Amino acid sequence: MEDNKPSGALTWIVLVLIIIGGIFFFTRSAKAPEATGPLKVGVLLPMTGDAATYGEAARNIYQIAADEINKAGGVKGRPLELIVEDSKCNGKDAANAAQKLVNVDYVQIIIGGFCSGESMAAVPIAAAAKVALFSAGSSNPGLTGISPFFFRNYPSDSSQGAIIAEVSYTDKNWKKVAVIQEQTDYAGGVFKAFSEKFVSLGGMIAKEEFPSATTDFRSILSKLKTANADALFIDTQTPPMTARILDQLGQLKWKPALIINDATAGDTKTVAQYAGLLEGALTAQFGVDEQNPKFQHILEAYKTKYGGNELPFQSYGQTEYDAVYMVRDAIAAVGYDGQKIADWSRTVKNWEGASGKITILPSGDREGGHRPQVVKAGKVENYSR
């Protein structure tokens, strides 16, 4: 008697066809966004861990901008809906979050990541799905030209590192710098740009790296102290990490001339708390234009919405606010389509925002860069040569 059940080989063929059909349907669905209803905008932010201090502030700014846009009628009558995923300032979680936004929420545009490692991990996922990826905070030079689907309105750290190096060697006459660097894409990018410029000028570097799980830096700091460097560069991912290092510097009673990156310099609370140790510390930031009316607006809007609190990380806050409005303008101009939004980004020239005039280069980078600054009396101000 013939068995009516399919053979093993036939069973596998059927299963493969089902899987292929499912993938085809799934992919096709992801590329056919709804023609009505909210316009979903994915957001990758570190909402837990040390970097959550950035994520919370960014989420607040994004929401202020989205609320303003929606109150004014959205984009051709359709409101923006922010879908925030916790990317935890690391590649693995950012990749998982990006997969969810692309394959479950079917977004055509993702704002993020914030940390450079988040963006690097999300780029191939977004590119494969033809989803635009727009960062308002990632600054690693390795992101320059990484994908036609990636762009950013925060400048590359190639300018930050180079400016710090030039001022250190030429103005400060520091010929040898000790570096304590966290092993992250952001910190590594800053160091790479710094070291290339500093060494090319004739400087020497003594460097020690540490993983992000490190809590005890005393042996590393003691080793760097013996290098007899002219200054110590604290190159970390987050202000809390810098704070731990500064605490242990104090315990060791070592008071070197200091260099800090913009991740720390942008945190007004940390700079004020460690005013004594950081007095005279050299840094470089993208900076803000306090006379810019849009920047003044977000300062007031943040204070009004969030219980009188000052806008933290103002340099990032301005580009985050601009990012949502740029997404609005992109969708209004070319529609809710990732490919078209990515193409549109390369046409942006002198777009006026809270962070000034924005031009996106063919590489996806923002034109312009950082400026040298110094810590004085618990505040960061422009450096005068």
- For the chain, the domains span 39-155+290-354, 158-285+372-382
SS (H, E, C) the chain: CCCCCCCHHHHHHHHHHHHHHHHHHHHHHHCCCCCCCCEEEEEEECCCCCCHHHHHHHHHHHHHHHHHHHHCCCECCECEEEEEEECCCCHHHHHHHHHHHHHCCCCCEEECCCCHHHHHHHHHHHHHCCCEEEECCCCCHHHCCCCCCEEECCCCHHHHHHHHHHHHHHHCCCCEEEEEEECCHHHHHHHHHHHHHHHHHCCEEEEEEECCCCCCCHHHHHHHHCCCCCEEEEECCCHHHHHHHHHHHHHCCCCCCEEECHHHHCCHHHHHHCHHHHCCCEEEECCCCCCCHHHHHHHHHHHHHCCCCCCCCHHHHHHHHHHHHHHHHHHHHHCCCHHHHHHHHCCCCCEEECCEEECECCCCCECCCCEEEEEECCEEEECCC
Average pLDDT, the chain: 92
What is the per-residue pLDDT across 101-160, written as a single tens digit (0 to 9) for each?
Answer: 999 999 999 999 999 999 999 999 999 999 999 999 999 999 999 999 999 999 999 999
Give me the percent of the chain exceeding a pLDDT of 90. 89
| pLDDT score of 28 | 34
| pLDDT score of 34 | 73
In CATH, 39-155+290-354 is 3.40.50.2300? yes
Confidence of residue 36 (pLDDT cuts 50, 70, 90): confident
What is the per-residue pLDDT across 316-360, written as a single tens digit (0 to 9) for each?
Answer: 999 999 999 999 999 999 999 999 999 999 999 999 999 999 999
| pLDDT score of 295 | 98
Please indicate whether the domains covering 39-155+290-354 and 158-285+372-382 agree at the CATH topology level. yes
Full-model pTM? 0.84
| pLDDT score of 1 | 37
Please say if the pLDDT value at position 213 is more than 70: yes
What is the per-residue pLDDT across 60-75, written as a single tens digit (0 to 9) for each?
Answer: 999 999 999 999 999 9
Q: Domain 158-285+372-382 adopts which CATH fold?
A: Rossmann fold (3.40.50)
Please say if the pLDDT value at position 226 is more than 50: yes
